[in-house]
Structure 1
Amino acid sequence: MYIDVLLEVSLVLALVRASSAQTIVVDGHIITADESTIKPAFVTIDAASSNATADLFPGETHQLTDAVLANLTDLGLTNIVLFGFADPLTAGNASIIGPCKVFPADPDVFPSHITERVFDLLLGGSLIQTKPFASPCYGDYGNEDAARCAEITSHWSDDSFIHTNDPTSINAILFEGTSCVPHTVNPYAINCTIGAYPTMSVNVTTVYHIQLAINLARNLNMRLVIKNTGHDYSAKSTGAGALSVWTHNLKGIEYYSNYEEGSYKGHAFKMGAGVQVFEAYEAAHQRNLAVIGAGGKTVGISGGYILGGGHSPLSSIYGMAADQVLSMELVTADGRFLTASDTYNPELFWALRGGGGSTYGVVTSMVVKAFPEMPVTTMTFSLSTGEQVSVDQFWLAVRAYLTDLVKYTDAGNYAHFNINATSGAYIWDMVPWFAPNMSRQELQVLAGPFFEAIRDIGLDLKPVYQEYTNFYDAWDNSFPLESWGSNLARYGSRLFPRENWEDSAKLSSTFAAIRHVVDQGGAVSAYNVAAAPKSGYPDSAVNPAWRKTVLHAIDIVSWAQDMYTELITIWSNVLTADWGTTWRNVSPGSGAYLSESDYIEPDFQQSFWGNNYDRLYKLKKKLDPWDVFYARNAVGSEDWEMSDYIFGTLPSQNSRLCRKGTNLSQ
């Protein structure tokens, strides 16, 4: 309350002075002090004075500085300290920072509308008060709209664009609390609440937006989350009572024909954090080039995808997407803007490539390598049990395919396939087998032994081949728009190592573990992919298990909307305790993919980072002693815990976030 009173007085003083057409000086620039000049709290810096290895985007030159803060203080905003840069004296001091992040239930310390009003002025009007995406379907937020609700409902599950274009909508709605969804998603819903969606969000278009948000969150001990597109199995982009930094609109793309950084010299693109896969691929294709990105069209390529490592349809040739990064621009926990590369802040650069998002800072852009376009051949097929195909034949066919996964990735291939059992039938869909730099004839030769085995089993798969002259068309036609998350399923994953294919007993155990999930009513969505290219790869925080992997498999458990909570709890626990344990037992010492993993992955530190974890944790404590950045299963997240749970074992994002061991009853 005291803070808000000061801010209200300061705001009145500022507006009074503005009405007298007072001038202020910001980093040597004399400007008139009116409402339009109070609100944009930045100065345009000289890009040449930075350590950036590529030209800064215009929004990156608009920065908050100590001089800006000083001049705003002189203007009358006496409590501008709330937006000030980090004080080293508060670093790691829990007695100052507090045992828990402030929560909406704490009215005396949680920011009120007065703080938000000043914040919005300084941001230039970029503050968004959260209304859940599906709120037009209800009357709770005063925006009920039947036509808009119908539009949202009809595209909720099959159009990820509508969610990635919203400031707070996320994929992992189960862990958010399913607090506001269309009735087709939850027919029992009677109202719409904010749940674990952040209280407010900053529509970021400039660096100073991020700096103001980080500084305010750190100084008020607010929970801070970062949303780019919301693609994540672990709900890293949301949290009750949080301030969200929405980077989706950082869309700059710049091409360099002869970029030099370290030993690299060649094609490169600088991309803003909000650039999505389809935008990056289109930009590269226009120049007859390709960049290493995801299969999913709406995934944010320069955000958590690369920060978490990023596997790609081209990984078996070039490695992980994180391997292609040449430099990054970001704002760190102290509110400062800096460059990370092999030359500047190399330890941070090492960590950012694979160390995970929402951990070391908010990335605004990165420079990545680009490669010449290449021809691609794809193959699809489907097999299901029935009158013509027995269950034994089905699994013999799957086993015949799995046998040669190493051979396929050694040839630079990538494949995505799904196996499940629905309506009493087993179904296997190859969607697609992706063969860069191969003609149809070459792919047929590579896959020849597999199809010979299929014929010996007594089956005819009837594969469909398609040849493309370039990567872009092959990708665009082969990977459909990804579906959005559900509150009726949970996911886990495992990276199965090459060594399991070098021993017949281990291969049999791997096959049996995968079949076990499907036989028990689960589904498997898997990728035949390797990430240890013959040309080598840089030293980075990418999970070392990726360098030994030939199969990244995701297991999926689902349940019906009308199931009793007790039964759902049992099914949810099966994913981790039964299927997950089975997969871990046949791949000891391996790991899982951070961005597509079990929400309660046991020993996540080893699973996601292996022997890199200690180094990552030490750097996290050094760069963010205030614990500004937190995300589920991120580096350092083991120091925090939620106050409530879903199904007894799943920490609810719709709860208070506190340091581990905090007694919430006091």
Structure 2
Amino acid sequence: MSSVRSLLAAALLLPLGLQLGSAQTIVVDDKTLPADNKTVAPAAEPVSPDATNASAPLLPAETVQLTDSVLANLTDLQLSNISLFSFDNGSAVAKRSLFSGCKTYPGDLLWPSQIVWDVFNLLLGGALIKTVPFASPCYQDFHNYDAAKCAYLTNNWSNYSYMHTDDPTSINAVLFEGLTCMPPAINVGETSCTVGGYPEYAVAISNVAQIQLAVNLARNLNLRLVVKNTGHDFGAKSTGKGALSIWTHHLKSIQFYQNYRDGSYRGPAFKLGSGVQAYEIYEAANQYGVTVVGGEGQTVGVTGGYVLGGGHSPLSSLYGMAADQVLSMEVVTADGRFLTTSPTSYPDLFWALCGGGGSTYGVVTSLVVKAYPKLPVTTLTYVLQTGPSVTADQFWAALRAFFEGFIEYTDAGNYEYFRIQNLGGGQYYSDMGPWFAPNMTKAQLQALVAPLFARFAEIGIDVTPTYTEYSNFYDAWKASFPLEPWGSNAIRQASRLLPRANWQDPAKFNATFDALRSVVEDGGYVIAFNIAANPKGGYPDNAVNPAWRETVMHCIVAALWNPAGSAADAKAASDTLTFDWMQRLRDVSPGAGAYMSESDYIEPNFQQAFWGSKYAKAYQLKQKWDPLGVFYAQNAVGSEDWKMSEMIMGNLPSQNSKLCRK
């Protein structure tokens, strides 16, 4: 215990930026020692912005690092517990996991005492956050009950994702967290609020040193470690019981380079902190008169798990996946070291980070991405709907006519985002929202779709299209993609990447369309994208799922149930999604795949579905760069080596349970 007290005594002098006078002293293990800048360093030190192998200087947050000299200063003070924050202590992990093979959890004998958390917070400069669930104002459990705030949360819970992305631990996929704290009016019957599957602590990251401290502490104490930027992921990758969370949301730096040179690339580029969201980078690109590849969702963390998982975009049919745009990354790896990765610096790690998935190989702090010239966009919206003058057969005939043109539309660089719903009683609805045509005028788009609208007329459907021309991507994107629903406790989603070959073979096309129609007729809600991430200019070799290069349709299917209904009804809907509806789509696309970030939580053979032929290499690199399993996420590379101790609905691994080696 004396060594822990010693560390605390020293740490009391170590908040970031503290200046020590030469006459100060501290008492360590009953010894009086001088305490000045030569003997007690802050838990970080400044590093030159040019201390990198990449062409772009480090961002301000990256110039504050944990270094060997910092640790050496603390070690010189005979602080034995400084090993908690050392860069490599695999033996400690082995000892702590000896008894159960599980991560260390609250209540375990080896769970760190409060004094360790206090020391950690001091070394972080006060950035440690003890989790208080987002909906806790609706309950008495955390002594912060607030009826007005609870009403606000309840009214905005599902449609205001800015509110959730700005919270250190709130996530979209609340079902897999265990529904341990939602507004009671939404999670009917809820009477209490617990931390549950949310992390125990989060670190509000403002510099690299804090990430290094968190990674080292989690590794050396065998704690579960998660990473959150916004929490959008369908698979709850940024949460987990008893975890320490690295919250990168505030790494918002944006640096523009008009003439960036790195390797063979010459042109405009951005260096972006890993907390930058879609609306922020799109605003910046518009300001500088360029265009960047990012997601359609307003609050998606473009430089977090989105790009690490591949990242599809309204511009993918022109430029490919978001991961294809990356020129270099800064990353803290599982040993706590800070590296620059690129095609020439740690190229194997760079390959894995570009599409290998978030929370898997390290914590990315920034990345450099290509930018493209400013481009005009024309959008198109319309609605297909059954009614007094449109039968179900006419509806499906019109939808089929639209599907028949998918190859032609993506070859033209277009992207269509549409939904298909069964309204009940034999009624169906599909809205095009929007048809997104970059680099096209209104006249050009009208010419492209004229045969389609002629077909609609032949079928007997009168459609009133709305065209809008924009001079730039930002204005078109902002007008076309509203905030998306968030945090439902009564939904499961899954996806399938349907290949071009299914459109080139008439029999396969018939089977594909019939399978999708049958899913909707049986109650599936479809959100789909006509998209092809195989640009004419080519794409780099990276870990992106090769199925994306063959795709012309990314199809998301959702199963919904009554949140006030029975557990049996919820399980039946959940099982139907995975084992019935999605199996129909797998059967018509053998060997294809799915998009990891918008996928089935229990996707069968996820290794093949998410990475195809690239999985073997991705797994090998996981063992090289994270041999101790510091980073884990549901369905991430290497996750098959772990298991949850509890299930939801009998077959959904619960993030509100222990994580143990198989």
Contact kept, 8 Å, 2:93 with 2:221, in 1: the verdict is no
Distance 1:66 1:286 in 2: 41
- C-alpha displacement at 1:13, in angstroms? 5.8
**Contact 1:223–1:243 at 8 Å: present in 2 too?**
yes
SS at the partner of 2:181?
coil
For 1:16 and 1:345, locate their aligned partners in 2 and report how far apart those are by CA, in whole Å. 37
Q: Is the 8 A contact 1:354 1:542 kept in 2?
A: yes
The TM-score normalised by the length of structure 2 is 0.95
Residue 432 of structure 1 is matched in structure 2 by 434
The structure 2 residue matched to 1:50, chosen from 46, 49, 52, is 52
C-alpha distance in 1 between matches for 2:540 and 2:10: 54
2:175 aligned with 1:178, yes or no? no
Measured against aligned partners, the alpha-carbon deviations of 1:602-648 in whole angstroms (never above 9, x if no partner) come to 00000000000000101100111110000000000000000000000
Deviations 1:416-458 (A, max 9, x none): 0000112533110111000011111111111111111100110
Tell me what 1:7 maps to: 4
SS of structure 1 residue aligned to 2:50: helix
**Cα distance between partner residues in 2 of 1:97 and 1:88:** 16
Which segments of 5 or more consecutive residues in structure 2 lack a partner in the other structure? 15-19, 27-33
Structure 1 Cα separation of the partners of residues 442 and 40 of structure 2: 63
Structure 1 stretch 197-206 or stretch 52-61: which is displaced more?
52-61
Q: Distance in 1 between matches of 2:58 and 2:9?
A: 36
- Specify the alignment match of 2:592 in structure 1: 590
Counterpart residue number, 1:391: 392
2:415 alignment partner in structure 1: 414
- For 1:318-397, what aligned pairs fall within 5 Å after superposition? 318-397=319-398
Q: Is the 8 A contact 1:360 1:620 kept in 2?
A: yes
Q: Give the Cα separation in 2 of the matches to 1:588 and 1:126.
A: 48
Residue of structure 1 equivalent to 2:301? 300
Q: Tell me by how many angstroms 1:95 deviates.
A: 6.1
Per-residue CA shift, 1:114-148, capped at 9, x if unaligned?
11100000000000000001111111111111222
The question of 1:216 aligning with 2:213 is answered no
Contact kept? 2:83, 2:89, Cα under 8 Å: no
CA contact (8 A) 2:11 2:123 kept: no
CA 149–95 in structure 1, closer or farther in 2 if over 3 Å, else same: closer
Q: Tell me the CA shift for residue 20 of structure 1.
A: 9.2
Gaps of 5+ in 1: 25-31, 661-666
CA contact (8 A) 1:330 1:364 kept: yes
Counterparts of 2:266 and 2:94 in 1: how far apart (Å)? 41
Distance in structure 2 (CA, Å) of the matches to 1:296 and 1:370: 19
- Deviation of 1:87 (Å): 3.4
Determine if contact 2:200/2:242 at 8 Å carries over to the other structure.
yes
Aligned partners of 1:512 and 1:423: how far apart in 2?
A: 19
Per the alignment, residue 522 of structure 2 pairs with 520
Aligned in 2, Cα 1:97/1:50: closer, same or farther, shift over 3 Å?
A: farther
Is the contact made by 1:92 and 1:625 (CA closer than 8 Å) also made in structure 2? no
Matched letter for residue 479 of structure 2:
N
- Give 1:470 shift: 0.8
State the one-letter code of the partner of 2:229: N
Contact 1:90 1:97 in 2 (8 A): no
What SS does the corresponding residue of 2:497 show, helix, strand or coil? strand
1:538 aligns with: 540
Kindly provide the CA deviation profile for residues 480-516 of structure 1, in whole angstroms up to 9, marking residues without a partner as x: 0122121100000000000000011111111111111
- Structure-2 separation of matches of 1:179 and 1:93: 32
Q: Give the aligned partner of residue 664 of structure 1.
A: none
Measure the CA separation in 2 of the matches of 1:503 and 1:180: 49
1:616 alignment partner, one of 615, 618, 630: 618
Q: Deviations over 1:27-51 (max 9, x none)?
A: xxxxx9589x979400111233332
Deviation for aligned residue 1:287: 1.1
- State the AA in 1 paired with 2:346: N
Answering whether residue 468 of structure 2 is matched by residue 466 of structure 1, we say yes
Counterparts of 1:15 and 1:310, CA distance in 2: 43
Conserved? CA contact 1:491–1:597, under 8 Å: yes
Q: Which one-letter code corresponds to 2:240 in the other structure? A: G
Residues in 2 aligned to 1:471 and 1:93: alpha-carbon distance in whole angstroms: 54
Post-superposition offset of 1:649: 0.6
Which residue is equivalent to 2:455?
A: 453
1:90: how far off?
A: 6.7
> What TM-score do you get using the length of structure 1 for normalisation?
0.94
Higher deviation after alignment, 528-537 or 44-53: 44-53
**Correspondence 1:254 to 2:255:** yes
1-side partners of 2:114 and 2:174: how far apart? 27
RMSD (Å), alpha carbons: 2.1
| 1:79 aligned counterpart, secondary structure | helix
Residue pair 1:316, 1:530 contacting (<8 A) in 2 also = yes
Find the counterpart in structure 2 of residue 41 from structure 1: 43
3-state SS in 2 of match to 1:386: coil
Distance 1:313 1:104, change over 3 A: same
The one-letter amino acid paired with 1:279 is: E
Equivalent residue letter for 1:504 = P
Question: Aligned-pair distance for 1:97?
Answer: 9.4
* Cα pair 2:294 2:313 within 8 Å, conserved: yes
Tell me which residue corresponds to 1:480: 482
| C-alpha spacing 1:38/1:446, structure 2 compared with 1 (3 Å) | farther
Give how far 1:329 is off.
0.1
Quote the offset at 1:23 in angstroms: 7.1
Residue number among 500, 509, 517 corresponding to 2:502 in the alignment: 500
Residue matched to 1:233: 234
The CA distance in 2 between the partners of 1:615 and 1:596, in whole Å, is 23
Alignment of 1:67-216 (within 5 A): 67-75=69-77, 77-87=79-89, 99-106=101-108, 108-216=109-217
The farther-off stretch of 108-117 and 76-85 is 76-85
Distance 1:478 1:502 in 2: 31
8 Å Cα contact 1:39-1:122 kept in structure 2: no
Distance in structure 2 (CA, Å) of the matches to 1:420 and 1:428: 6
Question: For residues 97 and 594 of structure 1, what CA distance do their matches in structure 2 show?
Answer: 33
CA–CA distance in structure 1, aligned partners of residues 107 and 492 of structure 2: 30
Paired with 2:497 and 2:83, the residues of 1 have a C-alpha distance of 47
Among 470, 490, 493, the residue aligned to 2:492: 490
Partner of 1:605: 607
Alpha carbons of structure 1 residues 184 and 501: separation in structure 2 relative to 1, 3 Å: same
Distance change >3 Å, CA 15–CA 252, structure 1 → 2: closer
SS state at 1:617 partner: helix
Amino acid at match of 1:403: E
Residue of structure 2 in register with 1:28 after alignment: none
| Cα contact 1:274–1:303 (8 A) shared by 2 | yes
Contact in 1 for aligned 2:97/2:103 (Cα 8 Å): no
Q: Give the whole-Å Cα distance in 2 for the aligned partners of 1:194 and 1:40.
A: 32
Other-structure match for 2:31:
none
- Distance between the aligned counterparts of 1:16 and 1:284, measured in 2? 43
Against the structure 1 CA distance between its residues 22 and 157, is the aligned structure 2 distance closer, same or farther, given a 3 Å change threshold? Answer: same
Measured in 2, the distance between the counterparts of 1:402 and 1:392 equals 15
Deviations 1:47-76 (A, max 9, x none): 333323311011101100111012123346
Whole-Å separation in 1 of the counterparts to 2:11 and 2:441: 68
How many residues are aligned here?
A: 649
Partners of 2:271 and 2:561 in 1: CA distance: 43
